Homo-oligomer: A and B are copies of this chain.
Amino acid sequence: MKKVAIVGASGYSGEELVRLLLSHPHAELTAVTSRQYAGQSLAQVYPRFAHYPRARALRFSEPKAELLARQAQVVFLALPHGVAAEFAAPLLKLGCHVIDLSADFRVKSAAVYKEFYAHNHPAPGLLAQAVYGLPEVYREKIKGASLIASPGCYPTSILLPAIPLLKAGLIEPEGIIADSLSGISGAGRKAELDYLFVECNESVRPYGLPKHRHLSEIEQELSLAAGQPVILQFTPHLIPVNRGILTTLYLTPTAAATIDQVSACYQAAYGSEPFVRLLEGKALPDTKNVAGGNVIEIAWRLDPRTGRLIVMSAEDNLVKGASGQAVQSMNLICGWPETAGLIP
């Protein structure tokens, strides 16, 4: 058993971390912070957890690094970008493992960070030691890391399907298109008119194009996989579901690539991964089949009419796209079974 804390547990990712950690077999949730809810118990703020004795006992506190370092060995940061880095630095100094769900340590270049997030990087000195927390790609590095930059929800849905194909040279690095559909929880727990029920229900809409912030980390990781710079076309859309991202990738197979090679590539990359579900036969991804779980579904089709390869993925944006993946990294860091607390 290790003691874990969540800094910023009042948003949807934070709440999902609470859910996962309350029932984790090896982690003991010892602190949750929220300026807004300080003093209230987890059970009061989130009645759905009230049947856990710990949720009735544990109260939100103001976030203070020194105190947190005494309360926990692993600290999750579920904070806005810019703010997260301010907590990461002292917590690392005090010996904690830090798993950051914000964007602060995902992009290795402080210049690119500034380009996409419109402010100076708050802790550039830590960038070199951060490991991008995508276990299916960086498992060994994660095991030894003290600072995890847990990937974004859209990036996870794009990178896991694309990276094996790029590494294997089965697709061209040029002209990749990712068309993504996200549930409303992806917008966060913010009191804004745009995310009211009446504004989202019976509504389907693109947003944030053509230069969404997540491009910075997606292109970084695609470029690493391709061995050359990759520029991505990315269009996110808001869809009236609570949870889920469905991504459709439009890819150009390299000259010799066949559908069997693509299938073999995915089998080799993910055939024994516990959280990647390669769909066979006629099955296609569906967010309802991954909601609440840490699994990403992937299916692929070669279109004989256009010659394009279409790859589709589905994940729960709050689990494999955020908190579940962060717990997966924790499991690796702590030497626990990678599926602990994620598959009952």
The chain A residues found within 8 Å of chain B, CB to CB, are 12, 23, 47-48, 50-52, 177, 179, 181, 183-185, 189-193, 195-207, 209-211, 231-233, 235, 237, 239-244, 246, 248, 250, 274-275, 277, 279, 283-293, 295, 297, 301, 303, 305-306, 308, 310, 312, 314, 343-344
Residues of B close to A207: CB separation below 8 A: 284
Q: Chain A at the B interface: mostly helix, strand, loop or mixed?
A: loop
Residues of B close to A293: CB separation below 8 A: 48, 51
Residues of B close to A185: CB separation below 8 A: 198
A341 to B207, CA, bound (A): 33
Can you list 14 A-B contacts (CB < 8 A)? A47-B277, A51-B343, A179-B248, A181-B204, A181-B239, A185-B198, A196-B197, A201-B241, A202-B241, A204-B239, A205-B284, A210-B310, A240-B241, A250-B250
A97 to B285, CA, bound (A): 38
Residues of B close to A23: CB separation below 8 A: 343-344
Interface centre among A195, A205, A239, A290 (most CB of B within 10 A): A205
Q: Given A202-B291, A242-B202, A250–B233 Cβ distance below 8 Å?
A: yes
The distance from the CB of A75 to the nearest CB of chain B, in whole angstroms, is: 23
Given contacts A189-B196, A237-B248, 14 further A-B contacts (CB under 8 A): A12-B198, A47-B283, A47-B289, A177-B250, A179-B179, A181-B181, A181-B239, A189-B193, A196-B197, A197-B197, A202-B244, A203-B241, A205-B288, A210-B305
The distance from the CB of A260 to the nearest CB of chain B, in whole angstroms, is: 17
Q: Given A210-B301, A210-B305, A289-B48, A240–B191 Cβ distance below 8 Å?
A: no
Closest Cβ neighbor of A22 among chain B residues? B344
The distance from the CB of A71 to the nearest CB of chain B, in whole angstroms, is: 23
The distance from the CB of A236 to the nearest CB of chain B, in whole angstroms, is: 10
A314 to B51, CA, bound (A): 14
Closest Cβ neighbor of A51 among chain B residues? B295
Closest Cβ neighbor of A215 among chain B residues? B305
Closest Cβ neighbor of A210 among chain B residues? B303
A191 to B277, CA, bound (A): 28
Residues of B close to A233: CB separation below 8 A: 250, 303, 306, 308, 310
A193 to B185, CA, bound (A): 12
When the two chains form the complex, which single residue of B209, B240, B284, B292 contacts A197, counting CB atoms closer than 8 Å? B240
Q: Given A241-B202, A248-B237, A210–B287 Cβ distance below 8 Å?
A: no
